[in-house]
Structure 1
Amino acid sequence: MPADTMLLVGLGVAAIVVVWLVFSVLRKVSGVLLLIALAAGAYTLWSNPDLLRALLDNLGLR
């Protein structure tokens, strides 16, 4: 059965659009996860002064 050229072009365009959408969603999700991790780390340091002091000592900032 011969392949229809327009069908193959349409499938190729659809595949490119799907891949683009998946990667754009993954980029946004990874950005949100990074912000959540930074906020959790900041809250942990804020609520635990001993841990903050130890971190600053290890970094040589205190």
Structure 2
Amino acid sequence: MTQDTYTLIGLGLAGLLAVWLVFSLVKKMLGIVLLIALAAGAYVLWTNPDLQQQVIAGVSRLWSR
């Protein structure tokens, strides 16, 4: 490992940039996965009226408490 100050600062900044990129990509991927899950759930409720009525009844029971 080099003892050059500027090299160590550069490596530290590159490490911070890499961590920031990874976390921003993970955040974006989680957002996309959440949207896909919501769309799939909406499709399931749209195509299954019995399940839709059960969900509406459950939500209204929770809401009325």
Q: Answer whether TM exceeds 0.5 for this pair.
A: yes
| Inter-partner Cα distance in structure 1 for 2:2 and 2:59 | 67
Tell me the C-alpha RMSD between the 2 structures.
1.6
User: Number of aligned pairs?
Assistant: 61
Runs of 4+ residues over 3 Å off in structure 1? none
Gaps in structure 1 of 5+ consecutive residues:
none
1:40 partner amino acid: A
Identity of aligned residues (%): 52
Higher relative contact order (CA 8 A, sep 6+): 1
Gaps in structure 2 of 5+ consecutive residues:
none
Q: What TM-score results when the alignment is normalised by the length of structure 2?
A: 0.85
| Inter-partner Cα distance in structure 1 for 2:57 and 2:14 | 54
Q: Which residue of 2 aligns with 1:31?
A: 31
